[in-house]
């Protein structure tokens, strides 16, 4: 800052465009640094600093929705890559013709959950369907779930008697990619009906450990939700149904626009967004949430 003030004094004393340009450049650098620090102060909610677990589910609509789910998965993986995070697909169920029915991904990086929690909800796509011979416009939906990777959670105790554990052959892409051992694991939590599967680790033991990690995170989310709903009941607040309305729309036809319905932030550069440039949407959501005094 002292260096910048010195440049300002020099610019006032001398009529030198190069000095003025340097003042503008340094001021811009300081402003960006300040905005970055200001943004990081918003990462103060519980678990914001944790790694994240994300699940992407295709909505109703068959191949069209499954293709949309895979487009979203690619978008999040590209975003993680741009931030230097590690991303590992833990479980993936391909569609019959194209796309995916669902996928679960672990993101490892600084404030991964703090960022990605902004993406939880229903995402809507409007486009000319590449799977429709008549080239009609289709609307597709996909649900994104985001949980903090908590490891062992004190509030959640899992009784082994409440679990049904099944093993099955992990799917591959042919050739050496196909596994011939029952290394994939599916865990069903009988009291809640939650089903978690993992098949991309090297061994059955690793897949079981990863699936248990995801199960604990989902049970913890239920615990927090029930606690919050109890508070709302005591306050006499109305609670809405699940799935709910979309949080964001991606329109590729008849015009191009991505719009977040929570914050009203929008852009016409749909290609950049689908290529992973979702930072502005996340920042807008976090600022909007802070302004409302909630998450």
> Which residues in the chain show pLDDT less than 70?
1-40, 152-155, 171-180, 231-244, 293-295
**Domain locations along the chain:** 2-40, 52-153+241-292, 160-235
**pTM of the model as a whole:** 0.78
Dig out the tokens for 2 from the structure: 């002292």
Architecture of the domain whose range is 52-153+241-292:
2-Layer Sandwich (3.30)
User: Could you confirm whether domain 160-235 is CATH 3.30.160.20?
Assistant: yes
115-173 pLDDT tens trace: 999 999 999 999 998 888 787 889 999 999 999 998 766 667 889 999 999 998 876 54
155-164 pLDDT tens trace: 678 899 999 9
- What is the rounded CA–CA span in Å between residue 59 and residue 197? 19
Q: Give the list of residues 6+ apart from residue 295 with CB closer than 8 angstroms, or none.
A: 45, 117, 289
- The position carrying tokens 């450990």 is 209
How high is the pLDDT of residue 282? 95
How high is the pLDDT of residue 175? 39
- What is the rounded CA–CA span in Å between residue 74 and residue 68? 10
Compute CA distances 94 → 167, 171, 187, whole Å.
Answer: 19, 10, 20
Task: Look at strands 137-148 and 163-168 and give their pairing.
Answer: unpaired
How high is the pLDDT of residue 173? 44
Give the DSSP H or E segment for 93.
strand 86-94
How high is the pLDDT of residue 290? 83
Cα dihedral: 108, 111, 116, 117 (round 10): 120
How high is the pLDDT of residue 164? 96
State whether residue 49 is helix, strand or coil. Answer: coil
């Amino acid at each position: 800052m002292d260096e910048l003030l010195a440049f300002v004094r020099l610019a006032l004393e001398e009529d030198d465009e190069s000095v003025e340009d340097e003042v503008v450049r340094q001021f811009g650098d300081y402003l960006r640094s300040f905005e970055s620090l200001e943004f990081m102060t918003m990462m103060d909610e519980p678990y914001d600093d944790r790694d994240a677990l994300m699940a992407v589910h295709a909505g109703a609509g068959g191949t069209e929705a499954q293709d949309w789910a895979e487009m979203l998965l690619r978008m999040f993986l590209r975003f993680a890559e741009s931030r230097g995070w590690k991303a590992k697909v833990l479980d993936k169920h391909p569609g019959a013709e194209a796309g995916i029915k669902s996928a679960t991904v672990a993101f490892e990086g600084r404030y991964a959950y703090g960022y990605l929690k902004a993406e939880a909800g229903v995402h809507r796509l409007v486009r000319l369907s590449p799977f429709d011979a008549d080239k009609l416009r289709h609307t597709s939906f996909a649900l994104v779930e985001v949980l903090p990777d908590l490891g062992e959670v004190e509030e959640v105790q899992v009784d082994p008697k409440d679990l049904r554990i099944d093993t099955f052959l992990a799917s591959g892409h042919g050739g050496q990619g196909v596994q011939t051992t029952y290394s994939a694991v599916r865990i069903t939590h009988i009291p809640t009906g939650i089903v978690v599967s993992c098949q991309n680790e090297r061994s059955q033991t690793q897949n079981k450990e990863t699936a248990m990690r995801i199960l604990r995170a989902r049970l913890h989310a239920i615990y927090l939700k029930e606690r919050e709903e109890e508070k709302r009941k005591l306050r006499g607040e109305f609670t809405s149904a699940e799935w709910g309305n979309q949080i964001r729309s991606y329109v590729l036809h008849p015009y191009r626009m991505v719009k977040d319905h929570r914050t009203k932030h929008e852009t016409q550069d749909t290609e950049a967004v689908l290529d992973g440039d979702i930072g502005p949407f996340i920042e807008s959501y976090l600022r909007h949430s802070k302004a409302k005094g909630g998450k």
